[in-house]
Amino acid sequence: MSKSAERLNRLFDKLEKRVPPVVAGWLNWMRRPEARMVRIPFGILLVLGGIFSFLPVLGLWMLPLGLLLLAIDLIFLQAPVNTAIVRGGRKWTTWQRGRRDKRNRQDQP
């Protein structure tokens, strides 16, 4: 297993711990090799839904999930998706800390 594939598995494991048990079970099933014929079309649909996130029913959350699912089978996507997810997670954490610190400074007299 390549370094990118191992990192992708770690990202999926981390995601499965953060979502409700029903969603975690579904993600676990989607990662299995026998789910490939479902995973690829579903990943493509999620990416398309993420691209059209300006529509009321769809959301931007669909794009990274779709790319994660596609990266399981498409090796050339693994490294860029891993990098994007890790960097995005760091930026998200930094943004949340900044908001929290700003809120704490405003609460102090």
- What pLDDT, in 10s, does the model give residues 48-65? 988 887 777 778 888 888
Contact residues for 29 (Cβ-Cβ < 8 A; gap 6+): 35
Q: Report the chain's C-alpha Rg in angstroms.
A: 16
Q: Is the dihedral of CA 90, 96, 99, 104 positive or negative?
A: negative
Contact residues for 104 (Cβ-Cβ < 8 A; gap 6+): none
pLDDT band at 109 (very low <50, low <70, confident <90, very high): low
64 vs 34: CA distance, rounded Å:
22
Contacts by residues 70-73 (CB-CB < 8 Å, ≥ 24 positions apart): 70/39, 70/40, 70/43, 70/44, 71/8, 72/8, 72/31, 72/39, 73/36, 73/39, 73/40
Domain that holds residue 44: 3-107
Do 52 and 46 contact (CB within 8 A), yes or no? Answer: no
Instruction: For residue range 75-97, list pLDDT tens digits in order.
Output: 999 999 989 888 988 998 899 89
How many domains, in total, are found in the chain? 1
